[in-house]
Amino acid sequence: MDWFIQTLWLVPIYPLVAFLLISLGRALPKPLAYDASEGHGHVDASEALPLLAKKEVAFALTSGATVLGLVHAIASVAWLFNQHDGVTPIEQNWQWLQAGDLVLKLGTLLDANTVMMLFVVTFISLFIQIYTHGYMNHDKGYAKFFGYLALFNFSMLGLVLSSNLIQTYMFWELVGVSSYLLIGFWFHKPAAAAASMKAFLVNRVGDFGFLIGILLLLGITFTSGFWQQYLSINPEQALLSFQGFMPMVGGLAKTIPAWLLGAIGILVFTGPMAKSAQVPLHTWLPDAMEGPTPISALIHAATMVAAGVYLIARVFPLMAASMDITMPFITIIGVITAIVGATIAVTQTDIKKALAYSTMSQLGFMVTAMGLGAYTAGLFHLFTHAFFKAMLFLGSGSVIHACEGEQDMRKMGGLMKKLPVTGITYLIGTIAISGLFWTSGFWSKDEILAAAAHQHPVVYILLSATAGLTSFYMFRTFFLTFMGTYRGEAHVHKEDPVMTAPLAVLAVPSLLIGVLLSGFAFGLPAFGHYITHGLMSELPHHPHSLLDAMFNKVGNASQMVGLTGLVLAFAVYGMKLINTDTVKRVLAWPYELFRNKWFFDDVYQGLVEGGFMLIAQMSSTFDKVVIDGVVNGVGCITSGTGGLIRRLQTGRIQTYVTVLGFSVLALVVAYQVLMVKG
Amino acid sequence: MSSAVTPEIGLSTYLALASILFGLGFMGVATGRHLMRTLMCVELMLNAVNLALVAINNAVNPGDLSGQIFAIFVLTVSAAEAAVGIAIVIALFKNTGSVDADAFQQLKG
């Protein structure tokens, strides 16, 4: 057991090796027999491939690496549960480079946060890889896809295990690259290519702010001499290490002005803003749904987008040090994101787009929790959300797969009979995300709402309303997809057991993980028990028993709101008591606003187009008038002067001699006159 | 002693002569159209300078002969110059049939 903890650095190495081997396999020359048989439906085509390029090998390598990672993750969970008297984090560092006093290190940090993310990433990855085996089975790029999945796992696990901000930034960019590669996996589709580019560019904006934040922090701690002071406390610490954040921020708060600390916090927060799709940098996430559905589930719902929230948790002391600037900023951004995401989700007809906006909204919840200081609540919601949202996405993928690629919910309906396992797990996921009936979503969302109710009534009301909306739009997708009668033309296939098995597995944590980690079941510790240790204890209510926790005031209220959403969705989309067209007509203005995604894309389009055109116009004018003017002016003056002077060149020797002679004479006379006078 | 005073031929006399010779040469170069006359006028100017060199050397520092030596050098160079100049004039005449300076204005700007 100890061995798995001590060799935690191997966790990202496994998928890296898998990625390199698969890439090597793809780079090997393909035998002629393969090329000849390709496209002729030859069954034995892959037989001729070199071993490394085979589908089975790619799958075995990637999922094998994930299984090894999962073993480490389980060992770390066991390690965490054995830490009875508070968690003593384990940090291992290797020196990377040194320049003067500046030492950059690479390393791993194991604490409660790491354990949670490590488990989520490896666990969900594994089941998504199994699902992918079914989903991508007939895709030509099967091996490439698994190679990219391994690359993503390497980046994500490296990010999770990072012991300092510099290393985090490196892996932060790497997950961005893998996300780009996977969104644009079907790059022959123009929409996918554009979406991958958009994701990359929007993330660049956030990453740039993040980088400036890190460098500011580095510069200030380093130049203020504060760093040496800190080094003497713990010389083993790497620069900007997460372990050292508490003392570092404590010292910083005394030495630098509050506005600067707040600015650094906000700059660092722009990284999570882009990665976790917070307004106004959220526009890439819905477009990212052009990628294959397993990717939407793994990267754009469960793990990578949650990395932003994870990062906020990592640098939480920095955020919390600026109670007047950074924290309110985070809260406001989170609340806006939650509302914008939920309202747009109501109007979407594409099942994946609806889920994407739902993810955005839920991320808004987590970020709000962070902003409110309800650190554990945010992480808890991240944890439960990862399971049920991954399951919902995989469910939608199963539906799309069965409907021959159809994603429009208006052309679905009544699929419960054809796809029973998908339908039931999707219903479970819907209940969980709506926070109903004490499923996992209830517990985590409840904690966020409780924190909001405790701190800020306006935020509480807004979040509660959004939670009701969540319930409404999620049940809307459920009723449209699985209930009523089938409205599409595509022939519906049967479910693939390779794809339904992961759904069934993920349904279990979606239902139970909340109550299991509520602190009242089977003697298991509460989720926040380890996370908060030594940092802050912000739980506003202290329930004494499971029943007490199940029926607290905030919980009851949120269940009521959720049920209202459910009933409304049932009335509109289940029983069709209310005609949607009438609603659209009556609420025309908000409907158009939501359907057009609050016009974010249009505004950006206008800003970018208008702004760039303006700058281009100005540059063009400057170039034509000023630069060309100078260049042409020099030319004109030169040739004009030349035209005047050329007349002196008569070609007659007599003239030259005369000019020469009289010039000398003039010089002599001038010399004489000057010498005499001088 | 005879009352007739033979005027001493001084430096100024030599210089006056040299100036007159130089001016004549210059005039010839500046106004002449025949190329041979131009060459001869150049020779005249060179010899005017030689005269001035020798006279000044004699008057200022009679013990030193550098002025005279310089004049010898000028003679040498002028001989060479005359040779080259005449060769050019002959070549021009052979090619164009003219020795008129006004006929050669191809370098007019």
Q: Would you state the pLDDT for residue A40?
A: 46
The pLDDT, as a whole number, for residue A436 is 80
Q: Is the pLDDT of residue A580 over 80?
A: no
> Would you say residue A569 has pLDDT above 60?
yes
Which residues 6+ apart lie within 8 Å of A261 measured at CB? A252, A253, A318, A321, A322, A325, A326
**Chain B contacts of A661, Cβ < 8 Å?**
26, 30
pLDDT of A42 > 70? The answer is no
* Average pLDDT, rounded, for chain A: 80
Whether chain B has a CB inside 8 Å of the CB on A579: the answer is no
Half-sphere CA count of A508, side-chain side, radius 13 A:
7
Q: Rounded to an integer, what distance in angstroms lies between the CA atom of residue A412 and that of residue B14?
A: 125
Rounded distance, CA A247 to CA A233, Å? 9
Phi-psi region of A104 (alpha: psi -120 to 50; beta: other; left: phi over 0): beta
Which residue of chain A comes nearest to B23, CA vs CA? A661
For residue B31, list chain A residues with Cβ-Cβ distance below 8 A: 654
User: Taking CA atoms, what residue in A is nearest to B106?
Assistant: A651
**Residue with more model confidence, B74 or A50:** B74
DSSP state of A99: E
Give dist(CA A14, CA A108) in Å, integer: 15
| pLDDT cut 90: percent of chain A above it | 6
3-state secondary structure of A435: coil
> What pLDDT is recorded for position A394?
86
Partner B contacted by A647 (CB < 8 A) = yes
- Nearest residue of A to residue B35 by CA position? A653
Average pLDDT over residues B11-40: 90
Please give the Cα distance from A384 to A306 (Å, whole number). 11
Confidence of residue A230 (pLDDT cuts 50, 70, 90): low
Rounded average pLDDT over A281-305? 83
Bin B97: left if φ > 0, else alpha if -120 < ψ < 50, else beta: left
Query: ipTM for the complex?
Result: 0.80
Give the residue among A163, A74, A81, A178 at the shortest CA–CA distance from A118: A74
Q: CB–CB of A172/A275 below 8 Å?
A: yes
Separation CA A79–CA A112 (nearest Å): 10
Taking an 8 Å cut-off on Cβ atoms, the answer to whether B30 and A652 are in contact is: no
* B89 touching chain A per CB within 8 A: no
The residue ranking higher by pLDDT, A41 or A364, is A364
Residue A426 has a pLDDT of: 87
Count of alpha carbons within 13 angstroms of residue A285, beta-carbon side: 34
User: What DSSP assignment string belongs to A568-615?
Assistant: HHIIIIIS--S-HHHHHHHTHHHHHHHHTGGGHHHHHHHHHHHHHHHH
Segment A96-106 mean pLDDT: 75
- Which pLDDT band, with edges at 50, 70 and 90, does B4 fall under? low
**Rounded distance between C-alpha atoms, residue A433 and residue A448, angstroms:** 14
Whether B109 sits inside 8 A of A650 (CB atoms) is yes
Contact of B70 with chain A, judged by CB distance below 8 Å, is answered with no
Query: Rounded to the nearest 5 degrees, what angle is found at the Cα of A627, between the Cα atoms of A624 and A629?
Result: 75
Highest mean pLDDT, choosing among A228-237, A420-429, A532-541, B66-75: B66-75
Q: Which residue has the higher pLDDT, A29 or A278?
A: A278
Nearest CA in chain B to A652: B105
Give the list of residues 6+ apart from residue A243 with CB closer than 8 angstroms, or none: A89, A91, A109, A163, A234, A237
CA pair distance B17, B2, nearest whole angstrom: 28
Give pLDDT tens digits for A360-403: 999 998 998 888 887 888 888 888 888 888 888 888 888 888 87
- Segment among A124-128, A488-492, A522-526, A585-589 with least mean pLDDT: A522-526
| pLDDT at residue A223 in the model | 67
B44 — pLDDT class (breaks 50, 70, 90)? very high
Q: What is the separation of C-alpha A224 from the centre of its chain, rounded to a whole number of angstroms?
A: 33
For residue A540, pLDDT over 60 is answered with no
Give residue A43's pLDDT band: very low, low, confident or very high (50, 70, 90).
very low
What is the tens place of the pLDDT at every residue in A256-281? 788 888 888 889 889 888 888 888 88
pLDDT digits (tens, 9 = 90+) for B50-92: 999 999 998 888 888 888 999 999 999 999 999 999 999 999 8
Give the residue, A560 or A546, on which the prediction is more confident.
Answer: A560
Amino acid at A188: H
Q: Which residues of A touch B38 (CB under 8 A)?
A: 653
Per the listing, tokens 């916090």 go with A265
Report CB contact under 8 Å: A657, B108.
no
- The C-alpha atoms of residue A446 and residue A381 are separated, in whole angstroms, by 9
CA-CA distances (angstroms) from residue B25 to A308, A659, A664, B20, B21? 98, 15, 15, 9, 6
Confidence band of A560 (pLDDT split at 50, 70, 90)? confident
Pick the most confident of A582-591, A599-608, B24-33. B24-33
Q: Quick one: pLDDT at residue A526?
A: 67
pLDDT given at position A535: 45
Secondary structure, 3-state, A407-418:
CEHHHCCCCCCC
Give the Cα-Cα-Cα angle A330, A469, A397 (nearest 5 degrees): 95
- Residue in B101, B102, B109 closest to A649 by CB: B109
The residue among B77 and A495 whose pLDDT is bigger is B77
SS (H, E, C) A304-336: HHHHHHHHHHHCHHHHHCCCCCHHHHHHHHHHH
Note if the bond before A15 is cis, omega within 30 degrees: no
Q: What is the pLDDT of residue B25?
A: 93
| Every domain of chain B and the residues it spans | 34-100
Could you tell me how many CB contacts below 8 A there are between chain A and chain B?
A: 35
Note the pLDDT of residue A585. Answer: 73
Per residue in A441-477, pLDDT (tens digit) is 788 888 888 888 777 888 888 888 888 888 888 888 8
Rg value, chain A, Cα: 32
Assign 3-class secondary structure to A358-421. Answer: HHHHHHHHHHHHHHCCCHHHHHHHHHHHHHHHHHHHHHHHHHHHHCCCCCEHHHCCCCCCCCHH
Task: List, as ranges, residues 397-426 from A with C-beta within 8 Å of B.
Answer: none
Which tens digit of pLDDT belongs to each residue from A297-329? 888 877 888 888 888 888 888 888 888 888 888
Q: What is the pLDDT of residue A319?
A: 83
- Indicate the residue type of A399: V
